Amino acid sequence: MPEKSKPKFFYGYIVVVASVIIIAVMWGTFYSFGILLGPLQEDLGWTKETITGAYALASLISGFLGIATGGLSDKFGPKVILVVCGFLLGSGYLLMSNINAIWQLYLFYGGIIGVAMGGSVAPLTATIARWFIKNRGMMMGIAVTGFGVGIMIVPAIVNHLVYSYNWATACKIMGSAALVLIVAAALFLKRDPGQIGLLPYGYKESSKTGQSPKTSEFSYKEAIHFRQFWLLFVITLCYGIGMQAIMVHLVPYTMGVNIPAEKAATIMATLGGVSIASRIILGGIADRIGTRATYSIAFILAAVALLWLVPSNTLWMLYLFAVIYGFAYGGESALRPLMVADLFGLKSHGITHGTIMLNISLGGAIGPLMAARISETYGSYIPAFQICAVLGIIAFILTFLIKPTTSNEDTPKGWLSKIWRRVA
């Protein structure tokens, strides 16, 4: 399609801003679960493990649906998907405000909110990748600052609402805000520049240097045959278990070592705030030294932070953990979709990244439940944090084994690939 006269303002930036808003609202509310955990336990008399199970169910559902929404966005774009997800997320929290039975918790949070979260990442990252060739790492980093913005702002607001009013009021306000903000922002999304007669940002520069935006393009069925895909799959599973355990149980752990609730919320806010800067910084560094090298930097920081968390039981130690882990957490979420684009191209980016993202959701099913069970069995989170640290070290080591994809000859021959090929 011929390019129209160059606009003064590239519409791709609007897509980035809309993505920031959507991610911030969706994940800010989702990661506020740890704030709700204690009040729900106290008010309704359910165990920590029972309540955490709803979060695990939501993570599991969102992970599998992330594959489907990623595939749908490859074909139809992200707008309709995110409008539906915004409506479901808002409705889920509004319904949550009136629960008085465990089945309601699992239906409204685990089911409805889990379905809504299924469209929260893959459609947006695939869209950003299509809009930008030049500065793709930087733009991806800016887009996923929404995670950090959400974690920095929303849990603190929810904490204020819970302790000023109650958890039910907090859910009502979260639901109303989510419905309005996500649906409104989603209306500005467009699948790719071609929809409005534009070319991706940096297309001309890449053409002059001989770097076509369609190099290393693989279909989904081709991508899952690569060893690189399976390495990334295992890395994100190790990372996802630890990360999700931290996001749900950091606040309860902090309060358990006699740190006030408002301070616990600020530790989460610090983690989110640092992650905002890291997404932009590491995304920009990836544009210069390469995605794979930068990805390894993020994972060594994550491993160091998790090792530090094990003995952390004072306020300053937990703040330091939040700074280091926040930097790693922010970088990983910015670099993961870039890794998918670098290794497998944009042809099926949504569904390929959605499949990798499944492990973040599996981590949400495994990590928080593991931490809850260990906490209730041993009266301490420390053994759970030790497991998370070991998994972080394994993920860091595996990042060095990822090599560029060169041909379909680099496909795995093992039983795991054969099973997956039949499923896919």
Instruction: Quickly state the pLDDT bin for 204 (edges 50, 70, 90).
Output: low
User: Which comes out higher in pLDDT, residue 302 or 120?
Assistant: 302
Give the number of other Cβ atoms within 10 Å of residue 6's Cβ.
9
Residue 201 φ then ψ, to 5°: -65, 125
The overall average pLDDT reported for the chain is 85
Does residue 319 contact residue 270 with C-beta atoms inside 8 Å?
yes
pLDDT at 242 over 80: yes
Name 262's Cβ contacts closer than 8 Å, sequence gap at least 6: 159, 163
The pLDDT value given to residue 421 = 53
Query: Domain coordinates of the chain in residue numbers?
Result: 12-193+213-423
Gyration radius (Cα) of the chain, Å: 21
Q: Span 210-217, mean pLDDT? A: 52
Q: Span 263-271, mean pLDDT? A: 87
The pLDDT value given to residue 175 = 95
Instruction: Quickly state the pLDDT bin for 184 (edges 50, 70, 90).
Output: very high
The pLDDT value given to residue 213 = 47
Report the top-level CATH class of 12-193+213-423.
mainly alpha
The pLDDT value given to residue 406 = 67
State pLDDT tens for residues 52-84. 899 889 988 988 888 888 778 878 889 999 999
User: Concatenated DSSP letters for 86-140?
Assistant: HHHHHHHHHHHTT--SHHHHIIIIIIIIHHHHTTSSHHHHHHHHHHBSTTHHHHH
Does residue 252 contact residue 243 with C-beta atoms inside 8 Å?
no
Number of H helices and E strands in the chain, helices first, is: 19, 0
CA angle 137, 141, 147 (to 5 degrees): 155
pLDDT at 424 over 50: no
Closest listed residue to residue 15, CA positions, set 169, 271, 198, 286: 198
Taking 3-state DSSP, the helix, strand and coil percentages for the chain, each rounded to the nearest 5, stand at: 80, 0, 20
CA distance 304 to 55: 27
State pLDDT tens for residues 278-294. 888 887 788 788 888 88
Instruction: Quickly state the pLDDT bin for 323 (edges 50, 70, 90).
Output: very high
pLDDT at 255 over 80: yes
Quick one: angle between helices 291-309 and 382-399, nearest 10? 160
Name 421's Cβ contacts closer than 8 Å, sequence gap at least 6: 221, 224, 225
The pLDDT value given to residue 4 = 47
Instruction: Quickly state the pLDDT bin for 225 (edges 50, 70, 90).
Output: confident
Q: Span 349-362, mean pLDDT? A: 82
The pLDDT value given to residue 383 = 93
Instruction: Quickly state the pLDDT bin for 210 (edges 50, 70, 90).
Output: very low
pLDDT at 326 over 70: yes
pLDDT at 200 over 60: yes
Name 79's Cβ contacts closer than 8 Å, sequence gap at least 6: 186, 187, 189, 190, 191
Give the number of other Cβ atoms within 10 Å of residue 165's Cβ.
12
User: Concatenated DSSP letters for 160-182?
Assistant: HHHHHT-HHHHHHHHHHHHHHHH
CA distance 35 to 92: 17
The pLDDT value given to residue 27 = 92
pLDDT at 205 over 60: no
Tokens for 161?
């609402």
The pLDDT value given to residue 30 = 92
Does residue 287 contact residue 138 with C-beta atoms inside 8 Å?
yes
The pLDDT value given to residue 162 = 92
The pLDDT value given to residue 418 = 53
Q: Span 249-268, mean pLDDT? A: 87
State pLDDT tens for residues 105-114. 999 999 999 9
Q: Give the rounded percent of residues in the chain with a pLDDT score beyond 70.
A: 90
pLDDT at 17 over 60: yes
Q: Residue 166: exposed, middle, or buried by beta-carbon count in 10 A (0-12, 13-18, 19+)?
A: middle
Q: Give the rounded percent of residues in the chain with a pLDDT score beyond 90.
A: 34
Closest listed residue to residue 19, CA positions, set 132, 249, 182, 206: 182
Query: Residue 132's beta-bridge partner residues?
Result: 201
